[in-house]
Structure formats: C-alpha cells, structure tokens
Amino acid sequence: MPTDAILTLKLPEGYTFADLKLRRCADDAIDLDMDLVQRICGINGLDFEKVCQNPGPVVTSILTVWYKTHLAEGGAPDALMEQLKTARLN
C-alpha cells in the first residue's frame, strides 16, 4: 500500500511569500518570480534546468509549502492562492 511522502522543502531566508510575486497571467496560468524559484531549487539540490522542462510539480510544491508556512506564521491570506486552493478542490 503506497503512503504519502512527506515533502520537505527549504525556503530561502530573508524572503517572504509575497516575494514570489505570484499573479495570474491567463485564465488557467500563473506567473511568479522564477529567479526566486531558481534560488529555492539551488538550496534544495534541484536541477533548475530540469525543473523548467516541467515546472508544475515543483512550483506547486513551492507554493503549497511556502503558503502553508506563511499562514502558520500569521501571514494574511493571498487572494490568488485561495482561488487556486478552491479550484483544486472542485
């Protein structure tokens, strides 16, 4: 029986969730600061070039982990992340 893997992801010190500059660029697409994604890949030992070939899984993990951390630390809800969470549940 498969078990869910526990995702661990190191986040860069000195940055906040807002530094990702998450925004919607089309009805079904988002944009964010890929330089910061590259930094996150580097501190987590991920090959950024490979991530760019199929960014969805890694970007989703980054957004999920960082947003949960952001909220747990008392950060305000992000409107786009809340929309994405709602869309995922539907």
Name residues of the chain where pLDDT drops below 50: 1-6
User: Does any domain span residue 66?
Assistant: yes
Identify the pLDDT of residue 3: 41
Number of domains in the chain: 1
Evaluate the CA torsion angle 34, 56, 84, 69 in order and state its sign: negative
The residue segments making up the domain with residue 67 are 54-90
Distance of CA 33 to the CA centre of its chain: 10
User: Does any domain span residue 42?
Assistant: no
Identify the pLDDT of residue 4: 43
Q: Based on the number of CB atoms within 10 Å of its own CB, is 38 exposed (0-12), middle (13-18) or buried (19 or more)?
A: middle
User: Does any domain span residue 47?
Assistant: no
User: Does any domain span residue 83?
Assistant: yes
